[in-house]
A and B are shown apart, each in its own frame.
Chain A
Amino acid sequence: MTGLTFIDSVGRKLLDQLQYFFQMLLMLYLSVRATLKNQSHGLRTIFGILSLQIFYTGVNALPLVTVLAMATGCVVALQGVQLSILGGVSMIGQLLVVFVVREVGPLLTALVVIARSGTAMASELGNMRANREIEALESMGINPLSFIVFPRLVGGLISVLCLSLYFIFISLLGGFLVAKFAHDISFNYYMTLILNSLTFNDAYLFLIKNTFGGVMIFAISCQQGFSVRKSPTEVPAVTTQAVVKSILFVVVFNSSVTVLFYFKDYLFSGLL
């Protein structure tokens, strides 16, 4: 009986999560549809909001991402220097690409964006809901999905992709500083190591993780913000939920992509 209750509870939670996921997909679809249908209306206003979103999410996050990326690059390269006793200096390039480009870059960028912009967006939209700004937009014939959701989603996605690329660039720079200090490696040799380690698969992984991660962070934040009914006292709770749900989604999604990626490699190489 206990076992059945447990299965029942897990099933319900799974169904709730699926329902939530499909609600978000519906919101994404409707926001794109509303924007395409409203092409004659306020595209200039929408682009204004989009560029502001890129500024707040992307440009303003650069100092924090720089520090994190530099530290990550240095630490991974230091580990590589230790391991290079076993495999030679060339391991540093592979290590940096595998850790930074494939895994840590997208994950840490997503966490920074969730912490800075996901929370800000969920609380902003929650307060807008409580202050009847969403209703005010509707009363003026402005669809909140094209005016609020679409520019934030697109601006957020562009920011995540650019920030992640920036993170990788700075990390590799940090890695070079350590490699130069420890092994006196020249910049050309270091770049050769990195470029030899990069493959198309790294680009696919980068794009898949950052694109889906970016979209989901902002979709979850918008969805949570819109879930406020009346009172500003609901805002802190929905903001916390936005953070928790975004982190869970990004971690589960990134891990699943990595597992599937290696599973595919093992499958094609005949190891499975």
Chain B
Amino acid sequence: MEFKNLSFSVADQKILEDVTFTFSLGRWVWISSEGGVGKSSLLQIMAGLKLSQKGSYSVNSKNVEELSFEEFLPLRLQMGYSFDLGGLIHNRSLIENLKLPLNYHKKKTRAEADLIAMDLLRQFDIQKYKDHKPSDAPGSVRKLVVLLRSLIHLPQILLWDDPTMGLQDETCQKLFSLVKKLQEQGAVTSVFIASQDQKILKHADCEKVQLSGYHLERLSAT
């Protein structure tokens, strides 16, 4: 995953300017910055949800910005993206939200998708909310479902925006353990976490990338 002379701004706010950077794959990467600098936008660019104004972003040497929705689809299905806030489909229950990627892309049969989703909900003891609409569920449950939805289709790359926000330490621990377990099984290879929360380091061994002054800098491997 590589940025070449990439510039990006939202309205008048500059986020990235002429950035050339290669993201390490096959490990955990913690992207940190001051609040409001543009971590979420950076992660959205990496997920192909936002296009830069200048420069290029390539995944596996393919320029993402030149690909149509259909051409990018195989790459996109190798990624799991989770929002810091929102992102659940309001008129579907939590379990339907969770199963949506599996059902839509026919990765599993409906019965298999049911089993996988229920198993995930049980692991985090939130199965009682399965038929609740997002607006009827507590914030921490909503957050957890968005995170679980990003990994239910077993992507190679996880892009998580503020995953610990609103979650208890114990839940975070379970979540990170689940990702590590998936890594051991060869499902998830790279995890990118954009957050200000230092607790991330407690849960995983991360490479740290700092976003400041419209540039990315690789700081250290902890």
Contact = CB atoms under 8 A, between A and B. Distances in A.
A142 B69 CA distance: 9
Contacts of B49: 135, 138-139
Interface in B12-27: none
Nearest to A142: B104
Interface in A107-149: 127-128, 131-133, 135-143, 147
A183 interface: no
B124 interface: no
A34 interface: yes
A131 B135 CA distance: 11
Nearest to A138: B49
Contacts of A140: 100-101, 104, 149
Is the interface on chain A under 10, 10 to 19, 20 to 34, or 35 or more residues?
Answer: 20 to 34
Given A135-B44, A135-B83, A139-B47, A41 B90 contact: no
B105 A133 contact: no
A256 interface: no
A34 B89 CA distance: 20
Interface string B41-80: 0001001010000000000000000000110010011010
B191 interface: no
Given A135-B83, A136-B83, A139-B49, A45 B90 contact: no
Contacts of B101: 140-142
Nearest to A42: B104
Main secondary structure of the interface of A (DSSP, over half): helix
Contacts of A137: 89
A52 to B, nearest CB: 9
Interface string A227-250: 000000000000000000000000
A138 B44 CA distance: 11
Contacts of B81: 139
A269 interface: no
B106 interface: yes
Contact of A136 (B69, B88, B104): B88
A147 B105 CA distance: 12
B103 interface: yes
Contacts of A34: 69-70
Given A139-B76, A139-B79, 15 more contacts: A42-B105, A44-B103, A132-B83, A133-B86, A133-B87, A133-B88, A135-B44, A135-B49, A135-B83, A136-B86, A136-B88, A138-B49, A139-B150, A141-B105, A142-B104
Interface of A: 34, 37-38, 40-42, 44-45, 127-128, 131-133, 135-143, 147
24 contacts: A34-B70, A37-B70, A41-B105, A42-B103, A42-B105, A127-B90, A128-B89, A131-B86, A131-B90, A132-B87, A133-B88, A133-B89, A135-B49, A135-B83, A135-B87, A136-B83, A136-B86, A136-B89, A137-B89, A139-B47, A139-B76, A140-B101, A141-B104, A143-B69
The 8 closest A-B pairs by CB, nearest first: A42-B104, A139-B81, A136-B87, A132-B86, A131-B86, A141-B76, A140-B101, A132-B87
